[in-house]
Amino acid sequence: MAEPVSEMPCPLCKRARLETVKMVPFFRGYVLVFRNGHKRFAGCVSCVRKKMLLECLKAVAFGWVSPRALVCTVLVTPVTFCRALMLRKDENSVVRLLDELGIPTKNHDDRLRKSMYGVAAAIIMAGGEAHTNEIDIAEAYLSKILPKYERGELMRHIGEWNKSKSPQSSALFLSRFLSREERRSVLERYLKIAFADGVGKKQ
């Protein structure tokens, strides 16, 4: 059984653990007025399921007064109802929510380290191949800021990199959890890596 990513309590019942996050569409009709959107529910499985079922009940009660709301309610409410019944723990959704809020998960340090390796690998491989001087600069920097730096892990990230990948998620993660000074320092160091092969200067 996988270890939970966080011990944060459910914000609804305060007893169980935060286990899942779900986006649920809603529709309201008031004769000539039509409202729609999404609600995000976060909590334990039991509480989120109750919230989703309550939303289905509201749709049945208030989602039929206007023609547009009626059509949307008939098409969407059964799907929401089935999703509520089949709801399970979703640690990935919890991680995304905590990242958005800037709250570290239990494996925060490991994810931070992997993000640093991932962004460095993306910069090194931006030109299509890894140059020795780029790797050397990345090594010198990462070995100073990562307590458990491993050359093998950097080389693995470089070896597994391909152009279809994007460093956006890793860069976004770093931007949320590093201070302004730390972000500036990381940017300066990574710029040195980018210009180490001389290609960056020409561009």
**Type of residue found at 156:** R
Give the span between the Cα atoms of 122 and 33, in whole angstroms: 49
Residue 202: its pLDDT value, please?
Answer: 44
DSSP type of residue 17? B
Work out the number of other CB atoms within 10 angstroms of the CB of residue 88: 8
Residue 201: its pLDDT value, please?
Answer: 42
Asked if 81 contacts 30 with a C-beta cutoff of 8 angstroms, the reply is: no
Q: Tokens 């007893």 sit at which residue?
A: 15
pLDDT digits (tens, 9 = 90+) for 166-194: 667 777 778 777 777 777 777 777 777 76
Q: Which of 91, 152, 157 is nearest to 118 (CA)?
A: 157
Give the span between the Cα atoms of 96 and 16, in whole angstroms: 19
Q: Which two tokens stand for residue 165?
A: 């990948």
Q: Tell me the pTM.
A: 0.69
Residue 81: its pLDDT value, please?
Answer: 95
Give the span between the Cα atoms of 7 and 112, in whole angstroms: 19
Q: Which of 150, 165, 166 is nearest to 117 (CA)?
A: 150
Give the span between the Cα atoms of 13 and 17, in whole angstroms: 9
Instruction: Please give the mean pLDDT across all residues of the chain.
Output: 83
pLDDT at 200 over 50: no
Give the span between the Cα atoms of 110 and 128, in whole angstroms: 27
Higher pLDDT, 114 or 45: 45
**Type of residue found at 89:** K
pLDDT band at 126 (very low <50, low <70, confident <90, very high): confident
